[in-house]
Chains A and B, each alone.
Chain A
Amino acid sequence: MATETHATNGEGLADATGVASHSADAAPGMPQLDFGTFPNQVFWLVVTLVVIYLILSRVALPRISAILAERAGTITNDIAAAEDLKAKALEAEEAYNKALADARSEAQRIVAAAKADIQSDLDVAIEKADAEIAAKSAESEKAIAEIRAGALEAIEEVAKETAAELVTAMGGNADAATIDGAVSARVKG
């Protein structure tokens, strides 16, 4: 702290300028140059620096670097996981597309099969119907032919009878065989 010599100097300064110097507290005007306080400051500074150094190197810095490393690891892992998920999503999409295409082709196949089935059924039915129709028409034709034959015979008979009657009526004496042959030839021709 202030010595007496400094005190007088300080008062002189105060008188001359109105700048009051605190002679009781600061020895030579500038507290920074008060060498009496240097050992004190140096001692406490060394203590402070050592304490801060120990805190930092023992606790704070390892902890912060661990946090940062952990975060970097987490971020890397998360990115890898995201990549994984993305790949999985792509895979799933592919599988979905494939399933869709499969289903589509299956449906087409089923449709085609059904179509073919129906077609074959239809063909069989048509054939059957055709055959029936053919059988029926053949039968009818046969019936018609029979009817026609019956009619021809009847006509022949009627013609023969008529011819024989005519011949007898006209006074002729015709034997049956000749008339039959002549009528048959006429009817056929």
Chain B
Amino acid sequence: MATEAHGAEEGGLVFHPMDQFIVKPLFGDGPVAWYTPTNVTLWMAITILAVIALLVLSTSRRSIVPSRGQSVAELAYGFIYKMVEDVTGKEGLKYFPYIMTLFMFIVLANFLGLLPMAFTTTSHIAVTALLAMAVFLTVTILGFVKNGASFLGLFWVSSAPLALRPVLAVIEIISYFVRPVSHSIRLAGNMMAGHAVIKVFAAFAAIAAISPLSVVAITAMYGLEVLVAFIQAYVFTILTCVYLKDALHPHH
């Protein structure tokens, strides 16, 4: 990483918490065009390989008594399947592969990002914003296709007093359009924050007196980040399910 060279020449405390998120071309130093293979490409490809290893290779023996890898795959399948079924009901199961794709991508990208020297694709707002916008557009279009104009009933809280309903409708509409923003920034922010904090602690390790403390702090943060990596993927997925439920059953 470029930070090492930089720190050596300046000495003392050097913070580069954000350098780990820089998008670089894999080959050479040219400009990043839309098709350039970058470290984003590399880590997304590794994510795909991880998905294949976890869900395809481990289940290739199709044994009745599962091996370790196969039971992880089955666990992931059952976890998301049950979540979709519980939150959206039976008719949501049609969208199970879509939600499973989101979950597997996010959870594996989060965990792979925790490897030292790794690049965390989900820490980029561009990535999470696309994921969130995809969910938002899908859910909105699906809501109108399935329910027609009565999808707007989502914003008209019929259980509230009549005088309050327009006010509530405005709030509901605002909260509806804030959904993709919070949905994407929650994931990117959590990932970015954890990695940046670890990097800041790592910079403190340059001072000999507090370096043991710094190492302990990094270890603790790393444990927390492992938890956060899973919880954020879970939250992203379950919120997708909740939004999907709103699209399928817009009436409160």
Whole-angstrom distance between the alpha carbons of A63 and B60 in the complex? 8
Contact residues on A (Cβ < 8 Å of other chain), bracket: 35 or more
Whole-angstrom distance between the alpha carbons of A22 and B73 in the complex? 41
Whole-angstrom distance between the alpha carbons of A18 and B11 in the complex? 10
Chain B residues lying within 8 Å of A53, measured Cβ to Cβ, are 97-98, 101
A-B contact count (CB 8 A): 152
B23 within 8 A of partner (CB):
yes
Whole-angstrom distance between the alpha carbons of A96 and B45 in the complex? 68
A137 within 8 A of partner (CB):
no
Q: Considering residues B6, B23, B131, which has the most beta carbons from chain A within 10 angstroms of its beta carbon?
A: B23
A136 → chain B, closest Cβ, in Å? 93
Within 8 A of B (CB), among A36-61: 36-49, 51-53, 55-57, 59-61
Whole-angstrom distance between the alpha carbons of A109 and B66 in the complex? 61
B237 within 8 A of partner (CB):
no
Taking a contact as CB atoms closer than 8 A, the residue among A25, A42, A51, A63 that contacts B126 in the complex is A42
Whole-angstrom distance between the alpha carbons of A68 and B75 in the complex? 11
Tell me if B34 and A39 are in contact (CB < 8 A). Answer: yes
Chain B residues lying within 8 Å of A70, measured Cβ to Cβ, are 62, 64
Tell me if A25 and B32 are in contact (CB < 8 A). Answer: no
Tell me if B38 and A48 are in contact (CB < 8 A). Answer: no
B87 within 8 A of partner (CB):
no
B40 → chain A, closest Cβ, in Å? 5
Tell me if B55 and A55 are in contact (CB < 8 A). Answer: yes
A13 → chain B, closest Cβ, in Å? 12
Tell me if B100 and A61 are in contact (CB < 8 A). Answer: yes
B207 within 8 A of partner (CB):
no
Whole-angstrom distance between the alpha carbons of A57 and B104 in the complex? 12
Chain A residues lying within 8 Å of B34, measured Cβ to Cβ, are 39-40, 42-43
Tell me if A52 and B105 are in contact (CB < 8 A). Answer: yes
B13 within 8 A of partner (CB):
yes
Within 8 A of A (CB), among B11-29: 12-16, 18-19, 21-24
Taking a contact as CB atoms closer than 8 A, the residue among A18, A56, A66, A74 that contacts B101 in the complex is A56
Chain A residues lying within 8 Å of B51, measured Cβ to Cβ, are 52, 55-56, 60
B233 within 8 A of partner (CB):
no
A62 → chain B, closest Cβ, in Å? 10
B231 within 8 A of partner (CB):
no
A174 → chain B, closest Cβ, in Å? 138
Q: Interface size (B, Cβ < 8 Å)?
A: 59
Q: Quick one: given A20-B16, A31-B23, A56-B100, are A45 and B44 in contact (CB under 8 Å)? A: yes
Chain A residues lying within 8 Å of B15, measured Cβ to Cβ, are 19
Whole-angstrom distance between the alpha carbons of A3 and B34 in the complex? 18
Whole-angstrom distance between the alpha carbons of A68 and B63 in the complex? 10
Q: Quick one: given A64-B55, A67-B59, are A41 and B19 in contact (CB under 8 Å)? A: no
Tell me if A20 and B14 are in contact (CB < 8 A). Answer: yes
Tell me if B77 and A68 are in contact (CB < 8 A). Answer: yes
Chain A residues lying within 8 Å of B74, measured Cβ to Cβ, are 64, 67-68
Binding site for B on A (CB under 8 A): 1, 18-20, 22, 25-26, 29-34, 36-49, 51-53, 55-57, 59-61, 63-68, 70-71, 74
Given A20-B16, A34-B23, A52-B101, 19 more pairs with CB closer than 8 A: A18-B14, A25-B22, A30-B21, A31-B18, A32-B123, A40-B36, A41-B127, A43-B35, A45-B127, A48-B48, A48-B105, A49-B105, A53-B98, A60-B59, A61-B77, A63-B62, A68-B74, A71-B64, A74-B64
A and B contact pairs by CB, cutoff 8 A, 20 listed:
A19-B15, A22-B16, A25-B2, A26-B18, A30-B21, A31-B21, A31-B22, A31-B124, A32-B192, A42-B127, A42-B130, A45-B121, A52-B105, A55-B52, A56-B97, A56-B100, A63-B62, A64-B73, A67-B62, A71-B64
